[in-house]
Amino acid sequence: MPKLYLEPLLFCLAWAALAIAAGVLASVWMGILFSAGLALVLMPLTATIVSKTDDFTLERQVRWGLLVIAALGLAVWLRLPHTL
């Protein structure tokens, strides 16, 4: 069995938890948006960083930073009054 790396596993769990929280607290569509939207932004961004700089520390910081920004965005969205 291959070695299990803790940091990527924690990132995947945090990403899944954020998408589930968005789906439960906001709407199913918000959960889908957080899951797919982060993938569409995160994968090309990190691939570009690694291919241009070979700096995995920078890639890790950008990856976690984007997840934190998404979590803060969800928190702000949940605090806004939603009247239609």
In a domain, 1, yes or no: no
Is 19 part of any domain?
yes
Q: How many domains does the chain have?
A: 1
Q: How confident is the model at residue 81 (pLDDT cuts 50, 70, 90)?
A: confident
Q: Please name the helix (run of DSSP H) or strand (run of DSSP E) that holds residue 74, with its range, or none.
A: helix 56-79
Asked whether 63 and 46 are in contact (CB, 8 A), the reply is yes
- pLDDT, tens digit, for every residue of 29-72? 999 999 998 889 999 999 999 999 999 999 999 999 999 999 99
79 domain residue, yes or no: no
The Cα–Cα gap between 76 and 84 comes to 18
CA 20 vs CA 6, 16, 43, 65: distances in Å: 21, 6, 20, 19
pLDDT of residue 30: 93
pLDDT given for residue 83 in this prediction: 62
Taking a C-beta distance cutoff of 8 angstroms, is the pair 33, 12 a contact?
no
Rounded to two decimals, the pTM is: 0.84
